[in-house]
Amino acid sequence: NAGVTQTPKFRILKIGQSMTLQCAQDMNHNYMYWYRQDPGMGLKLIYYSVGAGITDKGEVPNGYNVSRSTTEDFPLRLELAAPSQTSVYFCASSIQGAPGNIQYFGAGTRLSVL
Amino acid sequence: GESVGLHLPTLSVQEGDNSIINCAYSNSASDYFIWYKQESGKGPQFIIDIRSNMDKRQGQRVTVLLNKTVKHLSLQIAATQPGDSAVYFCAENSGGSNYKLTFGKGTLLTVNP
């Protein structure tokens, strides 16, 4: 079972560059999420989606954009990379109506902006 | 806003000992609590959950205890093994239509051989 797959695993960007972090899940989950994790800190929600065509902001959306054209894919876009966006990014998914909303995570994308 | 926190940021134990990782929560409306394990360089992995109408739930070598009176959650790992070394997060969900989780910062568990 693939679960949640994130690409790339690592990336170095220069300030001002753009990139898209890819996330795909094969569990037919309605809900998908993007988090960032800074060293020694907890997960902070960037954006989430409750289904194809529906997205909403989380705690820290500034500097990011998302789209959800299919159930499986939820890419995260950085338009003008800044050093403050250096972090580890995790994508997660969960199934609608599941007790407790247990989320399943990908392996992460480690991004450095220099 | 409401938040989930941890009493101890680091915990070091000897292989074979039992480990107890604590978590405090402040949202009395939280309906579910979840423990995740995050190994170095990997994403968080679901371990066990507990609903607010339960005091205790057991899994394989893990037990979660919930004390709603003092808003405290703990994860007990029996016979801790080197493979248990990781950061452990608690998360809370307020249930109903709330599909978001609030995560704590995590406790780093180190198991010494």
pLDDT band of B6, cuts 50, 70, 90: very low
Q: Would you state the structure tokens that stand for residue B73, as one six-digit string?
A: 């959650």
Largest CA distance in chain A: 42
- Model confidence pLDDT, tens digit, residues B24-59: 987 888 889 999 999 988 999 999 999 999 999 999
pLDDT band at B64 (very low <50, low <70, confident <90, very high): very high
Tell whether A48 lies on the interface with B, counting CB pairs under 8 A. yes
Query: Which pLDDT value is given to residue B72?
Result: 93
pLDDT of B95: 61
Chain A residues whose beta carbon lies within 8 Å of the beta carbon of residue B104: 42
Asked if pLDDT for residue B7 goes beyond 50, the answer is: no
- B88 CA to chain A: closest CA distance, Å? 11
Task: Determine whether the interchain pair A101/B104 forms a contact, defined as Cβ–Cβ distance below 8 Å.
Answer: no
For residue range A81-109, list pLDDT tens digits in order.
Answer: 999 999 999 999 998 877 778 899 999 99
Shortest CA distance to B104 belongs to which of B27, B42, B18? Answer: B27
Record the tokens describing residue B82, joined without a space: 């080197």
Give the CA dihedral B24, B27, B28, B31, nearest 10 degrees: -90
B10-13, Cβ contacts within 8 angstroms, sequence gap of 24 or more: B10/B107, B10/B108, B10/B110, B11/B107, B11/B108, B11/B109, B11/B110, B12/B109, B12/B110, B12/B111, B12/B112, B13/B80, B13/B109, B13/B110, B13/B111, B13/B112
| Separation in Å, CA of B72 to nearest CA in chain A | 17
What pLDDT score was predicted for residue A85? 97
Q: pLDDT (tens digit, 9 = 90+) per residue, A16-37? A: 999 999 999 999 999 999 999 9
The pLDDT tens digits of the residues spanning B65-107 come to 999 999 999 999 999 999 999 999 999 987 655 678 888 888 9
What is the 3-state secondary structure of chain B?
CCCEECCCCEEEEECCCCEEEEEEECCCCCCEEEEEEECCCCCCEEEEEEECCCCEEECCCEEEEEECCCCEEEEEECCCCHHHCEEEEEEEECCCCCCCCEECCCEEEEEEC
Over residues B2-7, the mean pLDDT reads 45
Instruction: Give B18 to chain A, closest Cα distance, Å.
Output: 24
Residue A113 near chain B (CB below 8 Å): no
- Give how far Cα B19 sits from Cα of A13, B71, B88, B94, B111, Å: 40, 20, 11, 27, 9
Structure tokens at A73: 């894919």
Chain A contacts of B98, Cβ < 8 Å? 101
Q: How far apart are CA B62 and CA A107, in angstroms?
A: 23
In whole angstroms, give the CA distance from residue A10 to residue B80: 32
Share of chain B above pLDDT 70, in %: 89
What are the tokens at B44?
């968080």
Do A102 and B33 meet the contact criterion of CB atoms below 8 Å apart? no
Quick: pLDDT tens for A39-58: 778 899 999 999 999 999 99
Work out the average pLDDT over A7-12: 96
Q: Is A99 on the interface with B (CB under 8 A)?
A: yes
Q: Does the beta-carbon distance from B101 to A90 stay under 8 Å?
A: no
Instruction: Identify the pLDDT of residue A36.
Output: 96
pLDDT digits (tens, 9 = 90+) for A59-81: 999 999 999 999 999 999 998 99
